[in-house]
C-alpha cells in the first residue's frame, strides 16, 4: 500500500506518462504521416479553418468539464458530515480524491487556454494543435479516473435499501468478493 504522497505522485506520473505517450503518437503522425502535406491552396485554408473550429470546440468541452469538476468538488465538500466522508478524511482517501479533482480541473483549464490560444493567435501552426491533442488524452484519462471514483463515493453515500435484504446482499456482499 502506497502512502498518501506516493499515491498522489503516482497519479500525477500516470497523467504525465499518458501525455508523453500521446505526444509521441502525435509527433509520429506529424513526422511520418503528415495529413496536410499533400494539401495546397484552398484545401490548406479550409483545413486550417476546420482545425481552428475544432480547437474552439475542444476548449469549450474542457471548460465545461472544469466547471463540472468544480461543482462535484463543492458537492463532495458539502457532504462532509456523512460517515463515509469522515472515514475517507481520516484514512486520507478524501485528500487524494480532492487533489485528483484539482489536478483534473487544472488540466481542463490548461487545455481550454491552449484551445483559445490556437484560435486567437494566428501564428500558431498545426504543431501546436498536435500538442493540444496530446494533452486532450491526458485530460480525458484524468477526468475519467476522477469520475469513476466519484461514482463509487456517491453510490456508497446513498442510503441502503433496508427493506430489501436481498438487494443489500447483492449490492455490497456479492460484488465485493470479485
> Taking the model in full, what pTM does it have?
0.70
Instruction: Identify which has the larger pLDDT, 9 or 110.
Output: 110
pLDDT in tens, 107-146: 899 889 888 888 888 777 767 777 777 778 778 888 888 8
CA separation, residue 140 to residues 28, 70, 144 (Å): 21, 16, 6
The band of 44, judged by pLDDT with boundaries at 50, 70 and 90, is low
C-alpha to C-alpha distance for 26 and 6, rounded to whole angstroms? 30
Smallest Cα–Cα separation from 132: which of 11, 26, 13? 26
Cβ neighbors of 137 (< 8 A, separation 6 or more) are 18, 19, 21, 22
Indicate the range of 26-30, 47-51, 146-150, 170-174 predicted with least confidence: 170-174
Amino acid at each position: 500500500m502506497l502512502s498518501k504522497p506516493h499515491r498522489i505522485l503516482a497519479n500525477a506520473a500516470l497523467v504525465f506518462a499518458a501525455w508523453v505517450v500521446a505526444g509521441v503518437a502525435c509527433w509520429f503522425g506529424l513526422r511520418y504521416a503528415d495529413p496536410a502535406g499533400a494539401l495546397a491552396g484552398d484545401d490548406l485554408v479550409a483545413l486550417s479553418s476546420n482545425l481552428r473550429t475544432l480547437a474552439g470546440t475542444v476548449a469549450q468541452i474542457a471548460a465545461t468539464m472544469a466547471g463540472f469538476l468544480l461543482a462535484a468538488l463543492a458537492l463532495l465538500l458539502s457532504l462532509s458530515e456523512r460517515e463515509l466522508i469522515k472515514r475517507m478524511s481520516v484514512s486520507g482517501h478524501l485528500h487524494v480524491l480532492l487533489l485528483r479533482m484539482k489536478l483534473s480541473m487544472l488540466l481542463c483549464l490548461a487545455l481550454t487556454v491552449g484551445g483559445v490560444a490556437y484560435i486567437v493567435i494566428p501564428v500558431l501552426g498545426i504543431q501546436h494543435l498536435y500538442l493540444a491533442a496530446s494533452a486532450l488524452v491526458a485530460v480525458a484519462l484524468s477526468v475519467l479516473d476522477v469520475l469513476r471514483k466519484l461514482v463509487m463515493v456517491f453510490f456508497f453515500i446513498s442510503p441502503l435499501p433496508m427493506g430489501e435484504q436481498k438487494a443489500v446482499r447483492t449490492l455490497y456482499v456479492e460484488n465485493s468478493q470479485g
